[in-house]
Amino acid sequence: MSTTASPQKKRRLSNPSIEDRKVVINEPTKKTKQDNLNNGGVSISNNAVTTNTETTETPSVLSNLPTSSNTRANVNTSVNNSPKPVGQNNNSNMSVSTSGINNNNKEKEKESISASTTSPTSPVKGKGSMNQQIHQRTSSTSSTHTQQLNVPLSQLPPHELLIRCTKKEEEIQTLLGELQTLSQTLTPEFSYDLSLRKKFLDPATNILFRTMKKELEDKDKFIESLQRELEGVGFTPNSITGKKLVAKLLALQNENEELGRQLRQGRVEQYEIEIALQRKVIDELKQGLEESDNQLISLDAEMERLQNLLFQMRAKVKSYEEKYGPLEPDNKDDAAETSTIKEKKLETFALKMSTSCNGEIDEEKNNDEAAFKTATASVLLRSTPVPENSVTVKGPDFNQQLTLHELLENYSRIGFQAFSVGKAIELINKMRRWRLSDEPILPDETEEYKDPLIRSTTKCKIFLGYTSNLVSSGLREIIRFLVQHSLVDVIVTTAGGIEEDFIKCLGPTYLADFELNGSELRKNGMNRIGNLIVPNDNYCKFEDWVIPILDKLLEEQISKGIIWSPSKVINRLGKEINNPESIYYWAYKNNIPVYCPALTDGSLGDMIYFHTFKNPGLVIDIVSDIKSINQQAVFAKKTGVIILGGGIVKHHICNANLMRNGADYAVYINTGQEFDGSDSGARPDEAVSWGKIRMNAEHIKVYADATIVFPLIVAETFAKDIHK
């Protein structure tokens, strides 16, 4: 293999000692020599001689060797990272020191070294002569080889080939020595000149070097500080210095905030401690003041008692003097005797008075004890045992995630009107679950209702009543849901409850405000229902829609002899509207009767009034309806009433149930109060007195706006089964 060292890859010798370098030369073994003999000792390609050697270093001077136009010597070298010790022999390798080269080469090296080191300041001096020597030797060797190579190798005897190999090795060693010398010549700063060594070991020189080194370090530090100052002055937020400074500023700011927080917290704690101490002192002062007040009160009472005693004693003395005469003696002779008698009398009087006062004190103490016992007995009255089935008050726990069902389940234990909502849910679910099969068969039961299948399908008949304003509100969609799924059996409402449903099919109702000015609304053709607005154009559309239907009713009355009742008219209007958004469309579809005893009390009555002028003769009979609704109640095995609001719808449903001795379940939802004796404000118990609700019936009144509570009640009752 033949390689040439690249002239661009120059390596600097790291070891200045020539004696420490070792050259490893491949010593040809017998096998190697035989191979060389077989191959002619050298490989010939393009008149070039290639020799394989292995050295510890690869001097860069190889790239400067002169080449001939006829011949070229290529030397392959590689760095031996692990040189073998001197004198160690292997089967194929031999390590020798550069000092072990033949004496001729050694002397030439000394001459070359002395020539190259005569001027240390010129490290490349002698380079040209050395290169010239190498060039001459290489040229002479190449010419000799060229002459010998003219003889074919096959014609050379073996000993000639061996001689040629030996000479080649000697030449290689000579070249290696010269290369080592040249390498040392190129790096004179590492040569071991004793005089230069002494200069470096001189203390003065060392001191000078240290001084210069310190000055250099100081200058470096000064330059670094200037650079930092320049960076600090000219930094930007996105520069490295800027980022560092911003980060440091943020850290200082956070530290400052933390210190401020700790300081504030410490002050707050100190203030709290001081306040607690002040409160304690104030409490002690208050307690002492109260004790002083109590003592003053007791002293005042004692003083008053003593004054009373003194007054009584004076009164006794006065009465005694009036009875027995003055206590003063009449003359001086009897003064001593009189004084003695007076003292005895006074002692006797004082003893009597003391006995009397002690009795009064004992009597007062007895009175206080009696008052204490009376007050204690009144306040700390003993309770009778609570029934075992009593329900405790408890609200929902929102620490747990509650569903609507779980929330409404808690209503029955919250109390007040929430309890009433929970009770209404319970009663409506009882209405829905009841079946005739739940009751025992009565002795006078008809054969039809003795059939188990009939009994299991016979349900509680549910009467639903609502006022017109609820249809104007969003409860209309909830009522439509109940009728759409046949969840109620009989409906009673007002004229507005009928017409508002159809008007909503023709035009929308809008949310507004309770405080809107009525005059302004009237000027703009806007009708207010609470905080709802119905444009008057909607009623015009209703007139355009309903008048042709009234014409048809009159025509069928005349041609077919049909007698129209309010429920029949409502049924026909539900058919004509043909809109699934309508309550009465589904009442018509599901054959649910809708009764309206005040059909003319509203816009529908206005339309009937207008129709009498355009096409008179229409007759609407209410007698058939009163018979129909009463029979709905009479023939029902069990009834339940749900009434939203009051007035005519409430009374009409309750009065129909009077025909069967009252309803079995009743749920009222309104805000009416009974203090004015109104039907709307009457509680269910008043209907019991009239026989409209049975005496053993379950009933509840919820004092609330139906728009708030009825959606919750429907969600927990009727809607649950639909979505199962």
Name the residues annotated as catalytic.
692
* Beta carbons within 8 Å of 687's beta carbon, 6+ residues apart: 654, 662, 666, 693, 699
Q: Tell me which residue of 542, 677, 704, 672 sits closest to 610, measured CA to CA.
A: 542
Which amino acid, 697?
Answer: A
3-state secondary structure 258-300: HHHHHHHHHHHHHHHHHHHHHHHHHHHHHHHHHHHHHHHHHHH
Backbone dihedral region of 41: left (phi > 0), alpha (psi from -120 to 50 degrees) or beta? left
Q: What is the dihedral of CA 484, 490, 494, 499, to 10 degrees?
A: 30
From the centroid of its chain, how far is CA 32?
A: 84
CB 702 within 8 A of CB 672: no
Q: Three-class SS of residue 695?
A: strand
* Beta carbons within 8 Å of 428's beta carbon, 6+ residues apart: 640, 642, 665, 667, 713, 717, 718
**DSSP class of residue 489?**
S
**DSSP class of residue 89?**
B
CB 593 within 8 A of CB 567: yes
CA terminus-to-terminus distance, the chain: 91
**Exposed, middle or buried: residue 227 (CB in 10 Å: 0-12, 13-18, 19+)?**
exposed
CA atoms within 13 A on the CB side of 199: 5
The per-type count for the chain, helices as H runs and strands as E runs, is 24, 15
343 DSSP β-pair partners: none
* CA separation for the pair 405, 452 (Å, rounded): 34
CB 655 within 8 A of CB 693: no
Q: What is the dihedral of CA 667, 672, 676, 677, to 10 degrees?
A: -20
CA dist list (Å): 616 to 45, 265, 565: 136, 90, 17
Q: What is the dihedral of CA 437, 443, 448, 454, to 10 degrees?
A: 0
Dihedrals φ, ψ of 666, to 5°? -145, 130
* CA separation for the pair 494, 500 (Å, rounded): 10
Does an H or E element contain 640, and which? Answer: strand 639-644
> What is the greatest pairwise CA distance in the chain?
198
CB 175 within 8 A of CB 140: no
Edge-to-edge strand order for the sheet containing 22-26?
Answer: 54-55, 22-26, 93-97
CB 648 within 8 A of CB 671: no
CB 169 within 8 A of CB 23: no
Place of tokens 């009390």: 601
Structure tokens at 317: 């003395």
Place of tokens 């060594």: 197
